Amino acid sequence: MPGKFEIYKDKKGELRFRLKASNGEPILASEGYKSRASCRNGIVSVQKNGSNPDRYQGKVAKIGKHHFVLKAANHQVIGTSQLYDSERGMTAGMKSVQKNASTTKVEDSTRA
């Protein structure tokens, strides 16, 4: 079963999306968007760029944990990962995004 994108509102009322793996775990989160159209465009960008391993940049946070960002062709960040205890975990997270990014399943919890 493929993963899915979820659109939700954050505490500030901005729209965000997260990509979840088939096991329901979040693997990539977006920035906040003011409009639904911009949020959906972010999802399309993940779908377009997520399969390209060159679009990922691994990083180490100040607290020593690993994480990554997914960037578009214009080098803008599309999404960020959670923090991982190891580089190996981060690499597995990148592979999970690559595997699940092409999903077209989108759940929008902001619409009743």
Give the model confidence (pLDDT) of 20-68 as tens digits: 999 999 999 999 999 999 999 999 999 999 999 999 999 999 999 999 9
Q: Is residue 111 part of a domain?
A: no
Q: Is residue 84 part of a domain?
A: yes
Domain containing residue 94: CATH number: 2.30.29.80
In total, how many domains does the chain have? 1
Q: Tell me the pairing of strands 4-9 and 15-20.
A: antiparallel
Q: Is residue 112 part of a domain?
A: no
Q: Is residue 42 part of a domain?
A: yes
Q: What is the CA radius of gyration of the chain?
A: 13
Q: Is residue 18 part of a domain?
A: yes
Q: Is residue 59 part of a domain?
A: yes
Q: What integer best gives the mean pLDDT of the chain?
A: 95
Domain range enclosing 79: 4-106
- Whole-number pLDDT of residue 110: 87
